[in-house]
Amino acid sequence: MSASRNGNAPADLFLRIVAGELPATIVHSDDLVVAFEDADPRAPVHVLVVPRERHETVAELAAAAPATLARLVQVAQRIADERCGGHFRLVFNSGEDAGQSVPHVHGHVLGGRPLTWPPG
Ligand code: DGP
């Protein structure tokens, strides 16, 4: 298993979920992105949307595959439309100090309750 430079999660954790090698509750899958329920939900709606290809951060994804980032955002909106009236927070933790524990870019789709600001 490959090592991560951010946190303790293996770098290929989400690749293995995308490949079906690890179990997850998949809520969306297409040619560019896969969405699944977060294993440690922090809101009634907490879904992760990840690109099929691994890029570590959202900025790296934007530079390498902007169409995939656009799809990720579209899928996040669709999930929020279906589950929480279209109101949601889309969070990309980038880097260990920002709370990124899995070095495969993932958008957290959070909603289903009033969300406070600023985040902790
Ligand atoms: P972050 O801290 O921003 O890197 O978010 C990582 C998220 O990934 C965190 O909310 C928990 C979730 N997570 C970690 N491991 C797994 C897993 O094996 N399955 C699922 N479904 N979620 C996971």
Instruction: Provide the sign of the torsion angle of the four alpha carbons 14, 18, 22, 25, taken in this order.
Output: positive
Closest-lying ligand 1 atom to the alpha carbon of residue 98? 3
Residue 71: the pLDDT is 99
CA of 56 to the centre of ligand 1 (A): 14
**The 26-29 sheet, strands edge to edge:** 26-29, 33-37, 45-51, 107-111, 89-91
Residue 8: the pLDDT is 67
Residue 11: the pLDDT is 84
Question: Could you tell me the residue ranges of all domains in the chain?
Answer: 3-111
> Model's pTM, two decimal places?
0.95
**CB distance 90 to ligand 1 below 6 Å:** no
Per-residue pLDDT reduced to its tens digit, 7-54: 568 889 999 999 999 999 999 999 999 999 999 999 999 999 999 999
Pick the residue whose CA is nearest to atom 17 on ligand 1.
39
Return the CATH fold of 3-111: HIT family, subunit A (3.30.428)
Pick the residue whose CA is nearest to atom 13 on ligand 1.
39
Per-residue pLDDT reduced to its tens digit, 51-84: 999 999 999 999 999 999 999 999 999 999 999 9
How many Cβ atoms from other residues are within 10 Å of residue 48's Cβ?
21
CA of 64 to the centre of ligand 1 (A): 23
Are the C-beta atoms of residues 31 and 22 closer than 8 Å to each other?
no
Pick the residue whose CA is nearest to atom 20 on ligand 1.
39
Residue 7: the pLDDT is 55
